[in-house]
Chains A and B, each alone.
Chain A
Amino acid sequence: MMPFNILLAVCLVYVIALFCVAFLAERRAARGQLRFLRGPWVYTLSLSIYCTAWTFFGAVGYAARSGLEFATIYLGPTLVFIGWWGILRKLVRIGRAHRVTSIADLISARYGKSNGLGVIVTLISVIVAAPYISLQLQSVTLSFATFAAQGPETLDLSDHGGMALWLAAGLAVFTILFGTRNLDANERHHGVVMAIAVEAVVKLAALLAVGVFVTWGLAEGPMDILTRIEAQASTGWTLVPSRFAGMTFVAAAAVLTLPRMFQVLVVENADERHLATASWAFPAYLLLMSLFVLPIAVIGLERMPAGANPDLFVLTLPLQEGHGKLALLAFLGGFSSATSMVIVAAIALSTMMSNHIFAPAWLALRRRRGGAGSGDLRSMVLISRRLCIAAVLALGYGYYRFSGGGEALAQVGLIAFVGAAQVLPALLGGLFWRGATRVGATLGMVTGFGIWFYTLFLPSFGGGAVLSADLMMQGPWGIMALRPHALFGLSGLDPLLHALVWSLTINAVVFFLGSGLSFPDPMERLQGMAFVNVYDLGPGAKGWARGQAEAEDLLSMAQRILGAGAAQQFFQLEAARQGKPGFLPDPTPGFLTALERELAGSVGAATAHAMIAQLTGGASVTVQDLIAVAGEAAESKEHAAQIEAKSEELARAARALRAANEKLTELARQKDTFLGQISHELRTPMTSIRAFSEILTEPDLPGPARAQYAGIIHEESRRLTRLLDDLLDLGMLENGKVRLSVAPVLVRDLIRRAIEAAAHTRPERVLRYDRDVNAEDVILTTDADRLLQVFINLISNARKYCTADPVVLRIQVRRDGDRVVIDVIDNGAGIPRRAQALVFEKFARLGETPEISGVGLGLAICREIMINLGGSIEYLPGQGGAGFRVTVPVEPPVSEA
């Protein structure tokens, strides 16, 4: 027999191995080695979270009680998958095109990005999931207890709750570690998916091993099994057509609407073609999982003592026959089934709760306090997700304690399935019927869920627990028509089927009537068309009429959600597409839509929409847009597309020309100003040199005065030389005639030297530096003196021009491939939009600050230096101050010279 502590040790080793798998997968993903991780097989295996502990243990119990009916749970998904071309493909296409993060997000996005619907779906899902999670906890503790009872030493395991608590806590830690590592735009979790795929193999292998042992070890092959099945058949095994069809339907609905299935099926899908593989491979997996269920049940009924729990036959049968190792494998299989389901469910539910309940609440709270504010939204969202994961598991554990366990496993699973199926009409209607509206979907779901709650969920706690026995028999207030198990007098059906028929029928009818009688608003109609016609329209209709938002505000918002690097890259790409340099594209409708979709990948469609609406003033769709998009049949689409392409090209050219023109005009003006400036700069020292040298010719000048005047002449001529040096330097740099002395240098040293050297500029000012010294530990091979010159210039500029008090200068260094990116950002007023394009031009001076010396060559020299070093320097907008980004290659570019 297996000692209990060895079982614990094996369990621990297995969990650690899973951690390693998840960790390695994350690392490979980070390195971009995704071929295997995102292949069709891992995808198919990850779908196996459909087979929970309920399947693993409960299916045998179900088969022992009801015979072949257990197979309906797998036949439903099989039917959905073999028809993948019709429904699943559309679902996945929409999910990918609209960056859907969860089923609640999909429903909310389809019905006009209504957050209210998202909240409803989230609440339904959480209520449905709690018993299901508790079921998983229960099955693991039960299987532990089974082992303990068999062991030689009698461990006191009367406190099952304690073990369930430990299990829930461990799962929460795993899920938080690997489920909330990032706010990836696509919400993919490579580590988790890989771990689940491994668990899928383990549970299949375990069940097959027990099945083979039973069929060929305890019985004499398949034929023998068939005769024994025939002999064992009891009255409970008669197949009831209505129940059989109903169960199959519920299972088919569940595979589409359960949040955890949606997570692996749609959100984690990396390629639509994987669905082609999964379409037959997943049904095959289900077939293999259920192949030996009936044999195990039959042999268990034969051999086990009467009264043994058939839900645990998979475990107790090998144990009784003295095969400890096989039992251990079976135990690990059950453990795998339970943990993988809980992990994915927790991720899916926490995403929904955080995106649809906490994020909008937080946004509303801040809006009430006023001001757009700043601060990192990412960490807020991540923390709320982590809390939600803990909350989901706590909920499951709470239900476990409350219900006390002990119920037949299968029953709880089916009740949850029927609850989840209430989302089905709104989901399918949204996918295939343009007439479906938010009002209809809301009313339908609420009604259906209410009926489910009353006729199935509350009675499931047993007679007298929540609903009194009297109420069950006589109906509330003695109204017979309202008896929970015989609504409107329909009493012939068993409770589950009864609840299914009433809840889904009324749900669908209310959904249809509500949709038909209400009138959708423009956004809803746009989204409806984008979803229903997803194959024709591509990623969706443009939802934004005109850009009234400032690109800079949009950038600073996007940075807080996507992270600085990703947001800047996105804006830069878009600006390049529009033919503009820098980070700030014009806020065209197309750009706003793309940005919204990008944000939706992190925080959900409704929140993303609300955030952009906040910045644009809310004018999202006008009637004109609607007419433009809805005039589908009217005009030849191709013609329109051509014109659009042309006009877009023209607009791009015009934008580029306008930018060039503005720049030229400004430059010409600047040059005039400069000529005046340089004459002035040259004349002032020349005048004083001339005046003082004249005085010096006086013969009877006292010694100290002579020394003082000579000093002034010296200082003034030094100023002249410096000016001429700068001009010469610039000329040389521009012509590429500089010789660089390249050597390895530590960025940290460079920055330190620059700070020291810049301290001479306006020494009376006190600067605080915000640095990450560890990040600066990067070695560059470049011309250190020249690069130093750039940093000194940037820091001196901050000392000279930054208006804040005290000045805080943020210096951020990070490695980006074969380049190092160094951001120098102060906390002052920044540089106005109009001037941003000009700061790097020669002689550009912003405003007139007469007390500060300088002729406006500093940044021009910096730019030329960076070009010579093979890097670049750019103005970084949207940082809450003037920000400059210096990009240097780690190795110097190979020069042709």
Chain B
Amino acid sequence: MARGPRPVFLARRSYRRRRIMDASRLLPVLGTLVLLLPVLWTPQPGPATAAVWLFGGWAGLIAVTAGLARHLAPAIEAEEEALTPADDGADDGANNRSGRG
């Protein structure tokens, strides 16, 4: 849209960050599946089994979200600069170093 020309290639770190954003956007879909599953089983399991699955899945989702959020919180600030090529240049340096190491 009005964003102006975006860089075609992103440095590894920015690239990874984008994928984390994607994962974060898609997590509710996975979550819906996990949480609806015990309802769809046939024959329906006893409430105890369903409860264990439900709360376990719930806790799992929370853990995954916490992991993603840890990487995304700094990105809120960096997001704008990550879109400009200047940031890429800086990242390239880091990339080269990791490439050599």
Contacts and interface: CB of A to CB of B under 8 A. Distances in A.
A85 B72 contact: yes
A84 interface: yes
Interface stretch (B7-15, B36-44, B88-96): B36-44
Given A83-B27, A85-B21, A280-B69, A67 B47 contact: yes
A417 interface: no
A537 interface: yes
B2 A637 contact: yes
- Most B CB within 10 A of own CB, among A89, A272, A276, A633: A276
B39 A283 contact: no
Interface in B51-82: 51-52, 54-55, 58-59, 61-66, 69-70, 72-73, 76-77, 79
Contacts of B4: 636-638
B70 to A, nearest CB: 8
SS of B interface (majority): helix
Given A83-B24, A229-B51, A287-B55, A537 B2 contact: yes
Contact of B65 (A240, A279, A537, A633): A279
A710 interface: no
Interface string A58-78: 000000000110010001001
Contacts of B21: 85
A284 B50 contact: no
A428 to B, nearest CB: 14
A772 to B, nearest CB: 45
A248 B44 CA distance: 19
Nearest to B35: A75
B50 to A, nearest CB: 6
Contact of B47 (A84, A86, A229, A273): A229
B52 A226 contact: yes
A245 interface: yes
Given A537-B2, A632-B2, A239 B50 contact: yes
A283 B24 CA distance: 15
Interface residues of A, number: 48
B3 interface: yes
Interface stretch (A4-12, A230-238, A858-866): A230-238
Interface string A636-675: 1110000000000000000000000000000000000000
B98 interface: no
B46 interface: yes
B48 interface: yes
Contacts of B1: 533, 536, 632-633
B48 A226 contact: yes
B14 to A, nearest CB: 16
A209 B45 CA distance: 29
Contacts of B65: 81-82, 279-280, 283
A149 interface: no
Nearest to B23: A85
Contacts of B28: 79-80, 82-83, 86
A291 B55 contact: yes
Contacts of A230: 46-48
A234 to B, nearest CB: 10
A287 B51 CA distance: 12
B72 to A, nearest CB: 6
A276 B2 contact: no
A811 to B, nearest CB: 47
Given A86-B25, A272-B76, A279-B65, A237 B39 contact: no
A80 B64 CA distance: 14
A202 B31 CA distance: 29
A276 B35 contact: no
Nearest to B58: A287
A217 interface: no
B55 A241 contact: no
Given A78-B58, A287-B58, A632-B2, A241 B36 contact: yes
B24 A75 contact: no
Contacts of B54: 68, 71
Nearest to B66: A280
Contact of B24 (A85, A237, A244, A536): A85
B2 A83 contact: no
A535 B75 CA distance: 13
B67 to A, nearest CB: 9
Nearest to B24: A85
A237 B38 CA distance: 13
Interface string A183-197: 000000000000000
Nearest to B52: A226
A237 B46 CA distance: 10
A284 B66 CA distance: 10
A128 to B, nearest CB: 25
Contact of A233 (B36, B47, B52, B58): B47
A624 to B, nearest CB: 18
A315 B26 CA distance: 40
Interface in A236-273: 237-241, 244-245, 248, 272-273
Contact of B58 (A240, A244, A273, A283): A283
Interface string A34-46: 0000000000000
- Most B CB within 10 A of own CB, among A273, A291, A637: A273
A241 to B, nearest CB: 5
B18 to A, nearest CB: 11
Nearest to B4: A637
Given A79-B28, A276-B76, A283 B61 contact: yes
A125 B89 CA distance: 51
B76 A245 contact: no
Given A83-B25, A276-B76, A536-B1, 10 more contacts: A75-B58, A78-B31, A82-B27, A84-B69, A245-B39, A276-B70, A280-B62, A537-B2, A637-B3, A637-B4
The 3 A-B residue pairs with the shortest CB-CB distance in the complex, in nearest-first order:
A83-B28, A276-B73, A280-B66
Interface of B: 1-5, 21, 24-28, 31-32, 35-36, 38-40, 44, 46-48, 50-52, 54-55, 58-59, 61-66, 69-70, 72-73, 76-77, 79
24 contacts: A68-B54, A75-B58, A78-B61, A78-B62, A82-B64, A83-B25, A84-B24, A85-B25, A86-B25, A227-B48, A229-B46, A239-B39, A239-B44, A241-B36, A241-B39, A244-B39, A277-B73, A279-B69, A284-B62, A287-B59, A535-B79, A633-B2, A637-B4, A638-B5
